[in-house]
Amino acid sequence: MVKNTIGAALACLYVALSVWLVRSEGQSYRNGLNRAKPAGAVTEKPVRERTEVTEDVPRVVVAPPRAPDPQRAEGRDTVATAPAPTPAAPASETTGAKPGVPPTAESKQVAPQPPQLTMRKPDSAITPDARFSKLDPYWSQPEVKTSWKLSNISDQDEMRLGEELHNMIMRFNPPAPSGPWRERVHAAAKPLLARVSRKDIKYTFTILDSEAVNAFSHPGGHVYLSRGLFAFIGEDEDVLLQFILAHEIAHVDFRHMIQCLQDPGVEKIQMGTLEKVYFFILPFGYMDKQEYAADQWAYRQLIGLDHTRYEALKFLRKLKGYAEAHDFNDGRARYQPRPGSSPVENHLRAHTATWERLDMLESFINATSTKPK
């Protein structure tokens, strides 16, 4: 009984802290979505093709923060009751010849805060970093605080960044138990991976133990699908699964998350690269132009694999009805924390409105089909 009580209390504290952080800094990234950069062309490299799909068993699994930990009990009341401060100076940074580098002086400017936060009396003894450290020491580790240099990042360094991002996601989002999902993903993804431009990126697919209808990806070739997504698409709708996988693979192939992290509104947020991904990019979604580009790439691949136009559009049409029934018809839904929830579970809800994506894709199809040959 005591363990359950402690676990529930810690989960509530984690949710409360997530809400404070997202509200105090989220506007910077939302402004960045409005300054969308066009997705750049990706140059194919003359290296050998890789089409293998790795198993979805994660390499690092650490207990999520909602598990009881008596060593952190002392700091709970402080985290829950202290007034929300304005962000303090940047946290510690790693040095040396590593792929991640400390932020420049320009990036150390403090992000503007909402009025309701700046009007409060700050508590200089408890910075945002200190709050996270008391809740879970993971957030004070050097690799979490590192700001990676992303301009001209190589594929090899991108995959190293991807491994650190993967370890972070696995810490707070447990993988699903064994099931039929891995085989379906392997079969659906294999022909798509033969069509990517960046052949050096090795893709890994992971099924998360979440009932949310969700899918996302990040640099380094990591793609995640929730257990709830498979209940949504059904056992006999592998063409829908293939569209989802193609959409997420396109985000990686086009370096969309790296473009988001390079946005001026995101760069000035005083956090490490891993923190920005977990608390802003994943729960707030990609830019509109990036979503349209990923949809178009997915459509072209399905048509190239001899699917019909109806089949290639079926996922977005089904998702449109689901969005109408679950209160995110207009897209860009805000993260609504609850005990046991994770910011990444909001990713699909934070997408551009599905009806808008469908309209844009149909316009693209009509325009390309009428071009003279």
Q: Which structure tokens are listed for 168?
A: 């972070």
Asked if the model's pLDDT at residue 263 lies above 90, the reply is yes
The answer to whether residues 168 and 146 touch, using CB atoms and an 8 Å cutoff, is no
3-class DSSP assignment, residue 200: coil
What is the three-class DSSP state of 139?
helix
Q: What is the pLDDT of residue 130?
A: 60
Residue 6 has pLDDT above 70, yes or no: no
Mean pLDDT, the chain, integer: 77
Number of separate domains in the chain: 1
pLDDT of res. 65:
43
Taken as a whole, the chain contains a residue count of 373
- Nearby residues of 281 by Cβ (< 8 Å), 6 or more positions away: 29, 218, 257, 260, 261, 266
Q: Is the pLDDT of residue 88 over 60?
A: no
For residue 27, give the amino acid letter. Q
Question: Which tokens go with 275?
Answer: 């923190």
Residues 6+ away with beta carbon under 8 Å from 56: 175, 176, 181, 182, 185, 204, 205, 206, 207
pLDDT at residue 358 greater than cutoff 50:
yes
| Strand (E) or helix (H) holding 202 | none
- HSE, side-chain direction, 13 A CA sphere, residue 27: 9
- Banded model confidence at residue 27, pLDDT cuts 50, 70, 90: low
The pLDDT tens digits for 128-187 are 556 666 778 999 999 999 999 999 999 999 999 999 999 999 999 999 988 889 999 999
Expressed as residue numbers, the domain containing 355 is 2-369
Q: What residue type is 20 in one-letter code?
A: W
What share of the chain has pLDDT > 90, as a percent? Answer: 59
132 vs 223, more confident? 223
> Is 281's pLDDT higher than 50?
yes
Q: How far apart are CA 333 and CA 241, in angstroms?
A: 23
pLDDT confidence tier of residue 369, bands split at 50, 70 and 90: confident
| Range with the poorest average pLDDT among 95-109, 208-222, 238-252, 352-366 | 95-109
Query: What is the secondary structure of 8-66 as a DSSP string?
Result: HHHHHHHHHHHHHHHHHHHHHHHHHHHTPPPPPP-PPPSS------B-S--S-----TT
Cα–Cα distance, 100 to 321 (Å, whole number): 42
Give the SS3 label for residue 339. coil
- pLDDT of amino acid 370: 72
